[in-house]
Amino acid sequence: MRKPSLGQVGVYVVLGVAAIPVLFPVYYGFVGAVMGPGDLATYPPALVPTELHWQNVADVFRSVPLGRFYLNSAVQAGVITLAQVVTSIVAAYAFAFLRLPARAATFGLFLATLMVPWESIIIPNYLTVSGWGLARGSLTYLGLVLPFLASAFGTFLLRQAFLQFPAELRDAAVIDGCGHWRLLWRVLVPLSKPSIAAVGVYVFLSAWNQYFWPLILIRDTEFQTLQIGISQLNDAEAAQPGLVLAGVALSLLPTLAVVILGQRYIVRGLTAGALR
């Protein structure tokens, strides 16, 4: 290989310096998780573990029901994702292919929901959902997902995808005696898999990472989601950073997997509005 030029060396140096603040919290989140109190609870703190202290991982499960939090988050994010994908698919089909009364006006209403910040309507939503008794016991699951079963973002993205199919394809399917329902599920959905995956990954990550709604809604520890659980672990065990970081590292595994496996769908979904 050709010797790198002076300019290229400069680029490496600048990127290397920039990488330190970006990568350090990542490094520390995982390495700190296996550091013992001897490394963490001293001043100045060690940057490299002197011994691997796996005890932290076991201690997390003793401090909080992390497994249960995992299950709760999986149910909450799983149901929201599945529901939003389905409601978005059928709504997108309606907007793309059906002649509906007041279609433009309804579409405008969908657009309007994107401009309303969730935080500005969270109080009445809390009153509604807790008023229905959905903040106690296993009904908490229902309260966690109910406001998030539909998505204007998913509807728009999938409508765009469906509109790219030539009208002839739809006409041919109809001539072959294929009804709307079959056309949608047998033809359009299988052909739109990348867009559907993009919506799914995006919805899953935002549901899994929710903070405000679970924080105010959930009253029983048994139904706490992982994000709130981690925050409570931090409050309860602040004196034991190793234990706290072990909880963080464990809770990061699913999102890391989704981000790594779904990388190309993420970019596609997240920039849907940017790349016209």
Cβ atoms < 10 Å from Cβ of 169: 13
CA gap 195, 161 in Å, rounded:
7
* Class of residue 215 by CB neighbours under 10 A (exposed 0-12, middle 13-18, buried 19+): middle
Rounded to a whole number of angstroms, the minimum distance from the CB of residue 175 to another protein is 22
Rounded to a whole number of angstroms, the minimum distance from the CB of residue 77 to another protein is 11
Q: Give whichever of 66 and 91 is closer to another protein, judged by the CB atom.
A: 91
Rounded to a whole number of angstroms, the minimum distance from the CB of residue 262 to another protein is 11
Look at phi and psi of residue 133 and say left if phi exceeds 0, alpha if psi is from -120 to 50, else beta: left
Rounded to a whole number of angstroms, the minimum distance from the CB of residue 255 to another protein is 5
On whether the CB atoms of residues 86 and 80 are closer than 8 A, the answer is no
Q: Give whichever of 175 and 274 is closer to another protein, judged by the CB atom.
A: 274
Rounded to a whole number of angstroms, the minimum distance from the CB of residue 147 to another protein is 4
DSSP 186: I
Q: Give whichever of 62 and 120 is closer to another protein, judged by the CB atom.
A: 120
Q: Give whichever of 37 and 191 is closer to another protein, judged by the CB atom.
A: 37
On whether the CB atoms of residues 143 and 129 are closer than 8 A, the answer is yes
Rounded to a whole number of angstroms, the minimum distance from the CB of residue 156 to another protein is 12
Q: Give whichever of 30 and 191 is closer to another protein, judged by the CB atom.
A: 30
**Nearest Cα residue to 60 out of 245, 227, 276:** 245
Q: Give whichever of 66 and 233 is closer to another protein, judged by the CB atom.
A: 233
**Nearest Cα residue to 162 out of 190, 200, 199, 188:** 188
Report residue 95 as tokens. Answer: 């907007």
* Class of residue 13 by CB neighbours under 10 A (exposed 0-12, middle 13-18, buried 19+): exposed
Q: Give whichever of 55 and 125 is closer to another protein, judged by the CB atom.
A: 125
Rounded to a whole number of angstroms, the minimum distance from the CB of residue 204 to another protein is 12
Cβ atoms < 10 Å from Cβ of 259: 13
Which helix (H) or strand (E) segment holds residue 126: the answer is helix 122-131
- Long-range Cβ pairs for the range 169-178 (8 Å, 24+): 170/97
